[in-house]
Amino acid sequence: MTTPSSLLGQPISRVDGPLKVTGQAKYAGEFNVPGLTYGHVLSSTIARGHIKKIDTSAALALPGVLHVFTHENRPGTAWFDRNYKDEDAPAGSPFRPLDGADIVYSGQPIALVVAETFELARHAASLIRVEYKTKEHETDLAEQRHKAHSPAPGKGGYEPPPKPRGNPDKAFKSAPIQVDAEYSTPVEHHNPMETHVSTVVYEDDGTLSIYDKIQGVQNSYDYVSRVFKLDKEQVRVRSPFVGGAFGSGLRPQYQLFLAVMAARELKRSVRVTLTRQQMFTFGHRPETHQHVALGAAPDGTLLSVIHETLSETSRFEDYCEVVVNWSGLLYQCDNVRLDYKVAPVDQYTPIDMRAPGAVLGVYALECAMDELAYKAGVDPLELRFKNYAERDQNQDKPFSSKELKACYYQGAERFGWGKRSPAPRSMREGKQLIGWGVATGIWEAMQQQAAAKAVLSIDGTLTVSSATADIGTGTYTVMTQIAAETLGLPLDKVTFKLGDSSLPKSPIEGGSWTVSSVGTAVKEVCEKVREQVFAFARKVHHSPLAKAELDEVTFSGGHIRLKSDASRAVSLTEAMRHAGVLHVEEQAMGLPNPKQMQYTRASHSAVFAEVKVDEELGVVKVTRVVSAIAGGRVLNPKTARSQIIGGIVWGIGMALEEETLLDQKLGRFMNHDLAEYHVPVNADVHDIDVIFVDEEDTIVNPLGAKGLGEIGIVGVAAAIANAIFHATGKRVRDLPITIDKLL
């Protein structure tokens, strides 16, 4: 029997694992119904202009082609922008598919062909002839710098940079040691295994059952209801499994709109699947140009920090990220100036990608800190200790908890940092130059409002539900663990349901807040069930619990037991039978504790990387990474470790490979497939070691868990870049660090 004390904090295997490895887990594009039709999207080939003529006659002439939707015959939908704004929408006017002849970015959907088969729909789309009138496009961010502006408020979670403190410009000019450098990061695109797809089942009564690739089914549900002016009971959205996302599924993408539009117009079930190439026709991690200036005393003590960033947004929305704020938070410094601006270009609106903002801003800051260490003649790790921040100076708040020093100590010991030879190019193995680098990582520990429902049945089984998502992070498993421990049930007696818009309210799955938010709601609803069943148990004939209080009992093995004598117990089923109930049902809302606002809440990490660089060829191998994480209470080390490993692998890609290349003459992303868009493969990934530092935090949420989805990638690219400098003596400030930049 699994006791409750052994559940949280234990490396429990994924409860949804058997479904996935046996192929029983069904994704949005795998729900088949009789009479299902297939939609294929035709994408624009220009970046700016308008459609002069679109000829669909050849496509419509093919037997089996049911309809071709264009801006000329698009059914009417809601008028005001507010109806198109989803839960993660920035300020501005959200994109409306097929809403006129204007072209605002390359790859924009301009037609939807619906046919009896996918192959036929795709072939028919190739027969559509389009004539454009082009306008001069502007896609070069550097050339649009003069149009940059501070972002408009609107995007959830965005915090404008704090006002300057002290006199950073004067302090920098007078500083004995100065680092003044420009860093850049390129556009990156999400490439999850599952492309974006929506299956819209048109039911006999005209209602819509939608299966969508999304990180928040209620976001899609609200969007569809408002845009198509549908009553709430006319729509239900489900997404039980998601084949990877990390940001691309935060907002409803255009295939959902097109599939719903087609299903309603044709009164048929429709599936619209984006091709791998079309995965490059919506949100992406934005390009950034960053200026970092650090002034320091001779011993490396920071006297001034200046961090300015230029990023991109679309012409129709004002997308923004928290890029520079970390530079006023991570290290102690009394003179700080931070600035973040965006410039509009003729591209689709960027979207959050794993650790949005932090992974970009911390990269530049941590590389600049490494440069400062060499200029000051101080060990890069010692420099971070020297400038350690015990308090958040941005908001003048204490940290709810911060075990970053322990991350530095434990990571350095595991990595062997003390054996590092300080001088660049001083460590080698034959023709391989060896470099060691370190960087700090940070990410917010956030909690959103979330709800959960729990039903304990007379047979001793428990079903808990919330509309959240599991994008592969282990949500099914951890929520099952929380529920099982709270009510003292074996794992196999607990079922957690998610990914259904009819379930209790949940925020989109992102920001590393799912365990904190939904987990709190699960814990609270199960505690309400505990209270009710305990009340029943006290009234059982000759109950050993009759005079006990709730804090004097434990729940384990399906029983309520006295802490003073575990043999004196009443089973949950016995208590329910005596009360004459077949089930106990409760709902609860998990709310953030107002006390949180008095603290800065964050996860921290120390990342150590080893690279080997071929002296003649410039080929870089990341041979070792040690990442020490302070993320509060770790509820499942097995799924948590997978999260950090995944983040590190992504960080390797960010440092060395990932870059979406834009042809400025065409205004078009050119390497829009998995052949030319490079991501790490098995041969690129070597030894990865993850350390979870003990950290207790009673402020972040009742579980003490800070979230681990984002922190794993933050700092990785910087650690690798710093290791490459240590190996080669060459500082590359523009990601990715490719062979041509090293030779």
Give the β-pairing of 662-663 and 620-630. unpaired
Which is catalytic among the residues 188, 366, 371, 710?
Answer: 710
Can you tell me the distance from the alpha carbon of 392 to that of 382, in angstroms, rounded to the nearest whole number?
Answer: 20
Can you tell me the distance from the alpha carbon of 629 to that of 511, in angstroms, rounded to the nearest whole number?
Answer: 17
Tell me, rounded to whole angstroms, the distance of Cα 162 from its chain centroid: 24
710 is catalytic: yes
Can you tell me the distance from the alpha carbon of 325 to that of 388, in angstroms, rounded to the nearest whole number?
Answer: 16
Can you tell me the distance from the alpha carbon of 502 to that of 671, in angstroms, rounded to the nearest whole number?
Answer: 40
Please report which residue ranges of 98-216 form alpha helices under DSSP H.
118-126, 168-174
3-class secondary structure for 410-449?
HHHHHHCHHHCCCCCCCCEECCEEEEEEEEEEEEECCCCC
3-class secondary structure for 527-586?
HHHHHHHHHHHHCCCCCCCCCCCHHHEEEECCEEEECCCCCCEEEHHHHHHHHCCCEEEE
Tokens 């539009």 — which residue? 261
- Phi/psi region, residue 59 (left: phi>0; alpha: psi -120 to 50; beta: rest), is alpha
Q: Which two tokens stand for residue 674?
A: 């998995």
Q: Which two tokens stand for residue 644?
A: 């950090």
Can you tell me the distance from the alpha carbon of 497 to that of 480, in angstroms, rounded to the nearest whole number?
Answer: 9
Sheet with 177-185: strands ordered across: 177-185, 288-296, 302-313, 336-344
Residues 71, 110 contacting (CB under 8 angstroms): yes
- In 3D space, the residue among 527, 522, 517 whose CA is nearest the CA of residue 706 turns out to be 517
* Cβ burial, residue 163 (10 Å; 0-12/13-18/19+): exposed
Residues whose CB is less than 8 angstroms from the CB of residue 416 and which lie 6 or more positions away in sequence, other chains included:
none
| Beta strand segments in 545-698, E | 553-556, 559-562, 569-571, 583-590, 602-614, 620-630, 662-663, 668-669, 687-692
Strand partners, 5: none
- In 3D space, the residue among 472, 468, 516, 473 whose CA is nearest the CA of residue 496 turns out to be 468
Peptide bond into 490 cis (omega under 30): no
Can you tell me the distance from the alpha carbon of 502 to that of 499, in angstroms, rounded to the nearest whole number?
Answer: 9
Active site residue ranges: 710
